[in-house]
Amino acid sequence: MAEASQRQVFLASRNAKKLAEMERILSPLVAGIRVLGLDDVDTYDEPVEDQPDFAGNALLKARAAVAATGLPAVADDSGLCVDALNGMPGVLSARWSGPPKSDQRNNELLLAQLYDVPDERRGAHFTCAVAFCVPGADGALSEHVVEGRMDGRIIREVRGEGGFGYDVLFVAEGYDVTTAELSREEKDAISHRGRAMRELAPVMARVLQA
């Protein structure tokens, strides 16, 4: 029983589609893991994501999750970095068109911003930082951060029904369909999130077993 409870991990995301990706990538890679979501813990305030980089925001979210729940927690901070926009929207990706968060308005704004940008300058990449924080017996936190990246370009009209966020406008390098047109497995195999989570999984397995 003690070992089973050791392997509970809280995935700290308010984005249901992102959370589903995190869970489906991690669960098969960490033996015996029991994934908990927001519905399994008492409500707590979402921390303000005010850090200048993805790793900083991921850590902030994971630390807040541990503080609220006392459980080992994983948080993902991710976003789209567009070359022609000097790396924006970057850490501001979720609310690029202002609150409340809307994928559709974000995509419309991105298309408008890139209206005059020719095909050869529409390069972009997704970045995902994942932080894993584990409370120790002495109150200290053990913290681990990994990052993944997916390169590609921004097309001129939305395509596809899968994924979330900017997937409908993003074509990964070597592909001619958007990441919203890929199957879940195909997206996970190449995505920033898939790469980061696959790097984190053995770390989680080791830390949770200790």
Ligand X SMILES: O=P(O)(O)OP(=O)(O)OP(=O)(O)OC[C@H]1O[C@@H](n2cnc3c(O)ncnc32)[C@H](O)[C@@H]1O
- Is 77 annotated in the active site? yes
CA atoms within 13 A on the CB side of 113: 18
Residue type, 72: P
Name the token pair of 57: 């925001």
Residue from the set 12, 59, 82, 94 that interacts with Mg ion by CB under 5 A: 94
Q: CA dist 15 to 63, 195, 203, Å? A: 18, 19, 24
166 is known to lie in a ligand binding site: yes
Active-site choice (40, 42, 77, 103) = 77
What is the smallest separation between the CB atom of 47 and ligand X, expressed in angstroms? 9
Q: Locate tokens 């529409």: which residue?
A: 122
Of the listed pieces 30-38, 114-122, 132-140, 161-169, which binds ligand X according to CB under 6 A? 161-169
* 132 lines the binding site for ligand X (CB under 6 A): no
Burial class (CB in 10 A: 0-12, 13-18, 19+), 51: middle
Angle between helices 16-26 and 192-209 (to 10 degrees): 60
- Per partner kind, with CB cut-offs from 5 to 8 A, the member of Mg ion, ligand X, none near residue 47 is none
- The residue sitting closest to Mg ion, measured at its beta carbon, is 94
> Is the separation of the CB atoms in 138 and 120 below 8 Å?
no
CB of 30 to ligand X, least distance (A): 19
Q: Judged by CB under 5 A, does residue 60 bind Mg ion?
A: no
- Catalytic positions, please? 77
Which residues lie near ligand X (CB under 6 A)? 13-15, 18, 49, 76-80, 93-94, 106, 126, 163-167, 191, 193
Which residues lie near Mg ion (CB under 5 A)? 94
